[in-house]
Amino acid sequence: MTVHTTRRPPSSDRDGSRGTQRTGTPAGTPAKPTRLKDPLWARLTIVFGALLMMVSGATVAGTRWLVSNATGSVTRENLLGDNKKGSADGGGDIKGPVDILLMGVDARKRWAVNDLRSDTIIALHIPASHDQAYLVSIPRDTTMQVPAFPKSNYPGGTAKATEVFFHGAQNGGGWAGGAQLMAQTIKANTGMTFDGAAIIDFNGFKSVIDALDGVHMCVDQRVKSKHMMLVDGKPLYLADARKASGTKKEVWHEKGCRDMEGWEALDFARQRYGLKNGDYDRQRHQQQLIKAMAKKAASSGVLTNPVKVNNLIKAAGKAFVLDTGDVPVADFIFGLKGVAANDMVLLRTNNGTFAGNGSGGESITPKSMEMYEAVRRDKLTEFILANPDVVAKEK
């Protein structure tokens, strides 16, 4: 199947400089999913927390301690609806391949809850061997055939991947509706299905990085931030910076490797304008950030320090909405301990560049469609051996 993509005009990028003003939550806006109390496994149903546990080699004893002692609550929702992976594709338990859909949204307080788009769409694939983890991005501007979705009164049609979440969230669909329509659309257009899913709030994600005391990132291209500005040395979103008084300075991400605070690492990973390959470079940088977080947890003793663990769980509880399907997250942790941070492989869609089709848009290449099919069939390792160029360089 050939899938087409088109660029979104720069003026509609969801940063502090965009033209459309959000002044509040209108009547009838679906509320953010409620926080549910207990059971204990829900304390750890935070997809990145689970990933950190998996790839950092946390001991079984340590994991059991966390399961029994973690406090607080986490937002849980049915994000996959009827689109969970079937038993024929290895779904329903932790013994086979595991696929998790990650969706990033920017849920700032001044924006309506149902007026969100998913600018980050990543499939995390762990093969049945449980000895690797692959990150496969779906370009945000991929034009997809979107099925009808009665829950939000969406009649079906053609839309960019980034807009699918928006259509599912309308008319009471909420975040769960946005995620369910995204999963349904990805299945219809690529064949990929998922065991679990997570919605990542970018603003909360910063707190998770800070709970790790920052991460080590490598900037491969000098790029100016389109989202942030320093005011008297303090990073602020552009919309807030313009209203503030004080000495203002543009944020530039300079080439080189260094330790970054949460705001800096997240801001760098969100840039696409000014990069050689636009959104494709951003996809790669976002994959790098996820891997950097996993490696930091593995190397800094976070998961053996009760104070750091509690801070991480508290931060992650505010950053994620999670669905683990029919499998408790503790089973994910115990069953996937063979995956280490250095075993996380970053993969490129469309060879990491814009694949123009001559009419202002682009198409997902046949090779990338084969890669999506390899994810579905749990043949990704074999696909990579035959197509080593799909592996992304990390610096």
pLDDT per residue rounded down to tens, the chain (395 residues): 444 444 333 333 333 333 333 333 344 444 444 433 333 223 333 344 444 444 444 444 444 445 434 433 456 788 999 888 877 777 777 788 889 999 988 765 545 566 678 878 989 998 988 888 898 988 888 888 999 999 999 999 988 888 999 999 999 998 899 999 999 999 999 999 998 898 888 777 788 899 889 999 999 999 999 999 999 999 999 989 999 999 999 999 999 999 999 999 999 998 989 988 888 888 888 888 888 887 787 665 666 666 776 677 677 767 777 787 766 655 655 566 666 655 678 888 887 776 555 555 567 889 999 999 999 999 999 999 999 989 887 65
Q: 237 with 248: CB under 8 angstroms?
A: no
Determine how β-strand 344-347 pairs with β-strand 133-137.
parallel
11 by Cβ neighbours in 10 Å (0-12 / 13-18 / 19+) ranks as exposed
Residue 204: give the domain boundaries.
35-219+299-390
pLDDT of residue 38: 30
pLDDT of residue 207: 85
Whether 246 is covered by a domain: the verdict is no
Phi-psi region of 212 (alpha: psi -120 to 50; beta: other; left: phi over 0): alpha
Name residue, tokens 């993509």. 5
Whether 16 is covered by a domain: the verdict is no
Q: pTM of the predicted model, to two decimals?
A: 0.75
* Alpha-carbon separation of residue 170 from 113, 116, 173, 187, 324 (angstroms): 10, 10, 5, 21, 24
Is residue 195 helix, strand or coil?
Answer: coil
Whether 100 is covered by a domain: the verdict is yes
Whether 27 is covered by a domain: the verdict is no
Could you give the angle at which helices 262-270 and 279-299 cross, rounded to 10 degrees? 150
Whether 253 is covered by a domain: the verdict is no
Q: How many domains does the chain have?
A: 1
pLDDT of residue 165: 93
Whether 309 is covered by a domain: the verdict is yes
pLDDT of residue 331: 61
Q: 84 with 193: CB under 8 angstroms?
A: yes
Tokens standing for residue 374: 């390899």
pLDDT of residue 200: 83
Is residue 361 helix, strand or coil?
Answer: strand
Whether 114 is covered by a domain: the verdict is yes
* Alpha-carbon separation of residue 307 from 211, 214, 310, 314 (angstroms): 10, 16, 5, 11
For residue 309, give the CATH number of its domain.
3.40.630.190
DSSP letter at 360?
A: S
CA atoms of 29 and 32, how far apart (whole Å): 9
The residue ranges of DSSP E strands in the chain, in sequence order, are: 4-6, 35-36, 74-76, 98-105, 120-126, 133-137, 142-146, 157-160, 196-201, 215-219, 223-231, 234-237, 248-253, 256-260, 320-323, 344-347, 361-363
CA-nearest of 39, 72, 57 to 313 is 72
Whether 142 is covered by a domain: the verdict is yes
CA-nearest of 45, 322, 285, 318 to 199 is 322
Close Cβ partners of 315 (under 8 Å, ≥ 6 residues apart): 204, 207, 208, 210, 211
